[in-house]
Amino acid sequence: MPELLTTDEAADYLRLSERKLYELVANREVPCSKVTGRWLFPRNALDRWVSAGLIAPAALAQVAAPPIVGGSHDPLLEWGLRESHCGLANLPEGSEEGLRRLTRGEVMVAAIHLHRLDGDDEAANLDVVTDTPGLHDAVVLGFARREQGILVAPGNPLALSDMASIAASRGRMAQRPAGAGAQLLLLALLARAGIALDDLKLAKPAFPTGPDIAQAIRAGRIDCGIATRSVAKAAGLDFLPLTWERFDLVMRQRDYFMKGPQALFDFMRQGGFRERASELGGYDVSEAGAVRLVN
């Protein structure tokens, strides 16, 4: 079967009448596009659409998502939401939870930074959004590239440098909630180094955000943890660089044009945003606001 289906092929594939399919197209409830006067339906997108149970009454499908940015925590994003006066609230619970809330219509935007065990992190955000059921109509915007590393007390008293040194020193290591981008990065780094998670002396419970890790290090409750350079700089901690990562914003195409997101995107293009990123440290915002994917 071809990857792009015609109207009659899509109707047969979905076991719908062509009349019903046209109703779904008219209400923008089914993934499709018009090419040279004909409607075409990507088969993979139809599969995700059906598996997510997205055949719903038009009134339900068009319910506006609440003006909330879920997903990962970031100091520059937190500042931008406040200073742009966009009216979007912040609900930082981790990248994967943000995507789950987005698919359920519980947030308008999800902030994500995902990592894979195979080390191909450059496309990780885009690949996950493309493959997530219920996000057939998603758009991904670049927010920033961020520098992630290991936070340690000033002077690095345990002489830590990488995952192997943390395991050998039995230093008390912070962990983040399951599905958080920093936790995914930790698991990826351990896998690449051939170290089991149980080989680390992990502090419990998990720390919700990078600033929580920084505070625990300053208080002497833990020895190290993964967070961004900006968090380390703000807390006066030493920073051992690990990698640069993509930090992206995901939303539905219809929400991209809403007043709140547009106010934030406009703010991201201004000089004050770039100056703040430089002041915080560990950011590259040269692609801020650039559309990276339209599903």
pLDDT given for residue 119 in this prediction: 66
Query: What tokens were used for 137?
Result: 């109509």
Q: What is the pTM of this model?
A: 0.79
The stretch 236-246 carries a mean pLDDT of 97
Query: What tokens were used for 90?
Result: 């912040």
The stretch 148-156 carries a mean pLDDT of 98
Closest-CA residue to 218 (of 234, 205, 202): 234
Phi-psi region of 36 (alpha: psi -120 to 50; beta: other; left: phi over 0): left
In sequence order, which ranges of 200-294 are alpha helices (DSSP H)?
Answer: 210-218, 229-235, 253-256, 259-268, 271-280
pLDDT given for residue 56 in this prediction: 47
Does residue 244 surpass a pLDDT of 60? yes
Question: Tell me: the pLDDT tens digits for 3-32?
Answer: 889 998 988 888 888 888 888 887 778 888
Percent of the chain with pLDDT over 90: 70
pLDDT given for residue 137 in this prediction: 86
Q: What is the DSSP letter of 64?
A: P
Q: Which domains does the chain have, with CATH numbers?
A: 4-61 (1.10.1660), 68-144+246-294 (3.40.190.10), 148-244 (3.40.190.10)
Cα 132 from chain centre: 12
pLDDT given for residue 60 in this prediction: 37
- Range in 44-48, 144-148, 211-215, 238-242 the model is least confident about: 44-48
